Structures are given as structure tokens and as C-alpha cells.
Structure 1
Amino acid sequence: MASKKLGVLNRAKRYFTPGQRLLLYKSQVRPHMEYCSHLWAGAPAYQLGPLDSVQRRAVRIVDDPILTSDIEPLSLRRDVASLCVLYRLYNGLCSEELFEMVPTATFYHRTARHRQGIHAHTLQPKWSRTVRYQRNFLPRTIRLWNELPAEVFPQDYSMGSFKRGVNRFLKGRQRACDAPGVAGVHRLR
């Protein structure tokens, strides 16, 4: 569906300015690629690749490097959406059945050096030996959650400040991974 809508935008692009084309992409095409993205964000790369190719086509259609430099990668948007859903679940803003699925925060005594980076909201994921289960929403998002720094978590529930902090952290990590010469930076995919 997103590809079809992008095709329509491509055929009508001469009637719109680059800014209008970008707005149409963000409002009419991208939502189709992000619907329930937290559930399928852990899909294999070959299944997520077509979505990334639609976004690359959109960048070519907008045809303005200044405007398109601010388009966030879909993988970043999926990770932020997943973490925001887990934040709501963690704080109990969901049904009782969903809240019971989230593991409780584990208290770790910081007696070892490797425990120094652990924040108070660290969750213990369920162990699994299959990659398929590890790519599901909860295990995958809990791994991301545990990598977040403590500064990301606000004192009181505030989705806006949590989302800004997560976005800032993940963008910084992404820039570090994209920088030439940086090796050994942990990536989930």
C-alpha cells in the first residue's frame, strides 16, 4: 500500500514543491509502513528491506537534500516506538493482562564493575534458545531497554521526555555506528 501511494506521489510530484512532497510522504505514506511496527520490528532484515527501499524512493522523489537529511531511518523510528510501548506497559498504563507479561525490575547490587552501567529500571528478559523468540516484541525491546542510560527515565511518568531522551540516545548511538573507523559498537541487528 505504501509503495502504491508513493507511486501516486511520484506521478504527481511536478504539482508540489519539495516541502509539500515531504509532508505528503510523512502523512500519507510513512504511517502505512509504521502501523503496529513495535510488533514486527524484530523481523529479519530481508523482510524489513522493502520498507527501507520505499523510504529511499521517497527521498529521491522529494529531491531536496536539505529537507531529506532530517528524515529518520525507519529502524530508529521502530525502536523508539517499541520502547515507548514498553514504557507504557512498565508504568501500568495498559490492561492488567498486558501488565502481567512485563517482568518486574530487578534490583542489582552494584558490587562488580560490569553492574555500574545498570539503571534502576533494568528488566530481566526471559531466557530463550531460539532466535525467533528473541526477535519478539518483549525480549527484543527489553534488550534495548536495558541498554538505555539512567538519564532517559524521568522521575515521574512523562512519555514526552522519555521519548525525547530515547530518541537522543539512539540517534547518538546510530551516529557512532555510522562513523568511519568506529568498531565494536553493539548493534541489535
Structure 2
Amino acid sequence: MTGKKLIISALVLALVQIGFLSWIIAGRAAILRNGKEVLLKVQPVDPRDLLRGDYISLNNNISRIPVKLIANVPQSKFSSDDTSIVVRLKKGADGYWQPAAAWFGQAPAPAGPDEADIGGRVAEGWDLRDPEATIAPDYGIDRFYLPEGEGMAIQDDMRVRPFGIKLALASDGTAQIKALMDGDKTLFEEPLY
């Protein structure tokens, strides 16, 4: 290969990589900017990641979904497969959104104006026979990274008063954490870029 072709190939490869990264960032920013906002109640779990710094692990009020909320569980199905789930949320009187219904796969109808759908994945092996049992979907919103040194103080505060996370939900149910809330006060807000 000649030097000129090598330089052109390297430039094309660099542009493809930059384009791919820009596409990922722009997609996240679009959800944060235009997504439907919902507020979830959270409790603390653990505040430190040795590689990435302080964070709070978010155990929120939709972390566990009762099996009885899942409308399309086949009668012959005893345990979950590795599959997608949609959880329909409704705003409660306290301002926090709660799970109202769920479906494996897709929701049968779009969410109404006072509702929002969040998409997640359910791991294989959850018991579906007992309607009082719960499953734990993964929505990709289980950690919120904080400035260094803030994790322990916030975790301690979470034990004595209500905290929440404000989510932005895309129309397909993809969720991004928009802000960490201390009651009505925004503590940290995610930048768009």
C-alpha cells in the first residue's frame, strides 16, 4: 500500500470511530433532552467503585416487580427466560411513579398521557408460578456516579430522608438517569454531553 492510501485509510477509520461515538452520545442526549420525565424513590446500597469512583447503587421502587403485574405470563410457564419486559408506570399521589402493569416483550397498547413505559430485561430463572413472587428487571439505571467524596455523605442522608432519581424515558422505553433528587431539591443533574 502506498503512503497516500495508508493515510486515507487511517482517516476513514478515524472518522468511522468518531461517528460511532458521536452517535452513542447523541442518542443518550436525545433521551435526556426529549424523554418523558418520571421520578422514582430510591434507597442506598453501596457507594464506591475502585475504578470509577463514588457512586450510589440505586435500589428503586421498580427494582422488583410482582409477578401478578405481568399480564402475559403463559399458564404453562414456570420460570422466566432471558427476555425483554415493559413496565407501565403511573404517577402516585406522592409524586413518585409506581409500577401498574407489565408485559414480557411489548406492551399491547401505547402508554396513556398519565403513564410511561420503561423497558428492561429479565434474567432467566425467576419463578413465575407464585403470583406473590417478584422478579428483578434490569433497566440499566442501577448506578449514579457522583463527584469524588460525595458518595458516603449522600448514602448516609438517604437513610434518614427520601431521595429519588428523575428519569428521562424515550418512546421505546429506554431510560437514562437525568438527576438525583433529595426530596424536591436537585442534587446532581446529568449533563447532556
Question: Greater share of helix residues, 1 or 2?
Answer: 1
Taking structure 2 as the reference length, what is the TM-score of the superposition? 0.23
Taking structure 1 as the reference length, what is the TM-score of the superposition? 0.24
For the pair shown, the structure with the greater C-alpha radius of gyration is: 2
Structure with more relative contact order (C-alpha pairs < 8 Å, separation 6 or more): 2
